[in-house]
Structure 1
Amino acid sequence: MPFPTPGQADPAPFSRGREADTDEPAILKIVIAGGFGVGKTTLVRAVSEIEPLTTEEYLTQASAPTDKLHGVEAKDTTTVAFDFGRFSLDMPLPLELFLFGTPGQDRFVDLWYDLSHGAIGAVVLADTRRLEASFTAVSFFERIGLPFIVAVNQFDGAHRYLEADIRDALDLPAVIPVVFCDARVTTSVAGVLLTLIDQALSQPSTRPAHSTLQDA
């Protein structure tokens, strides 16, 4: 099954019964986005049923001016293209989720357009110690009209904020769900993905069909 294109997302695969002559799952593409070091690669690893494809490279002195390590000083690698994993859900209609994790730095935003093409929605992962790192991702998905949710990755030792505080800080409308998760735990991540699927059904993409999202 081809991926639905933003603006043409078809909710029918969720609602119609499985055809009698096939047990093939519906394939859905989901983007995992957010700022540098918020846990996107960890999230994909936590649920992927295959060995994830990652494009991590070691941080160097050359990236020091742009890759701010405040709050993630122990981090020594970064995604430079995308992460890819696959996760299956056994629902009334079985689903196979293709997860594409974006690089977090703002300088890779042009790549986000390509990774978002054909996705039903996005998870914006956030770290409350550096919430500003996810501002760009929130604005990006608002601008291209792709349904998204915000998932707060609760790092050990980080202050626990109320949902209302997160919503105010990110200036999120009431229709955007905010959930809390541990990106290391499979069941926690699965709950995030289910919330995103529900959001994609209730808030379909507002983007018109285009051959490229960068026309926006």
Structure 2
Amino acid sequence: MHPVTLKILVAGGFGVGKTTLVGAVSEIQPLRTEEMLTEAGRPVDDVHGVERKTTTTVAMDFGRITLRADLVLYLFGTPGQDRFWFLWDELSQGALGAVVLADTRRLGDSFAAIDYFERRGIPFAVAVNHFDGADHYPAQAVRDALDLDGGVPLVMSDARDRESVKEVLVTVVEHAMTLATGPRAHAPI
């Protein structure tokens, strides 16, 4: 019996930890399409709050994790800068759901990803990546700041920690499955 394979996107703003999240949990060597930041990109790459960042994803990150013997997740990390967003439409095709990774130092950078998934009806959860030295806020304060619908899961996480990332992924899969099997899934079209 072949396992069920599901596609999950990992999205969020520039420097939020998408590549780190995919790498922390992938059971294979992740595919990364990172390039060095350049002087030419300084006017368009806002590194405020992530000044030590030296690389950026220019296409996608890819990883795989087996959650159970019969369930495998393929993870696709999206690029964070506006100029690469044209790739999101291709990457989102066939996705079960998404993680919107958020940084409390730059919450505004999460709005584009949240809006993208809301407009396309793709189930998502928000994972607040706790960076060292960043202020930590109660979940409800973050939910209010992001103006999240009450049904959108919000979890605190550490993109560097495998177990934390697994919890985030399970939350997304459960949320997407609940929406797929709930009353809306059986409503007439």
TM-score by length of structure 1 reads 0.82
CA distance in 1, matches of 2:111, 2:82: 10
Shift of 1:62: 1.0
- Corresponding residue for residue 142 of structure 2: 166
Higher helix share: 2
Residue among 71, 85, 90 paired with 1:109 = 85
CA distance in 2, matches of 1:204, 1:130: 32
Runs of 4+ off more than 3 Å: none
Shift of 1:203: 2.1
Aligned length: 183
Higher strand share: 2
* Cα deviation digits, residues 45-99 of structure 1 (max 9, x gap): 0011110000000000111111101110000000000000000012xx6211000
Gaps of 5+ in 1: 1-21, 207-216
- Corresponding residue for residue 20 of structure 2: 42
What's the secondary structure of 2:141's corresponding residue?
helix
Shift of 1:26: 0.5
Counting aligned pairs with the same residue, the percent is: 60
* Residue 128 (structure 2) pairs with residue 128 (structure 1): no
* Cα deviation digits, residues 147-191 of structure 1 (max 9, x gap): 000000000111111111111111101000100101001000000
Letter aligned with residue 29 of structure 1:
K
TM-score by length of structure 2 reads 0.94
CA RMSD between the two structures: 1.5
Residue among 43, 62, 66 paired with 1:88 = 66
Pair member with larger Rg:
1
What's the secondary structure of 2:11's corresponding residue?
strand
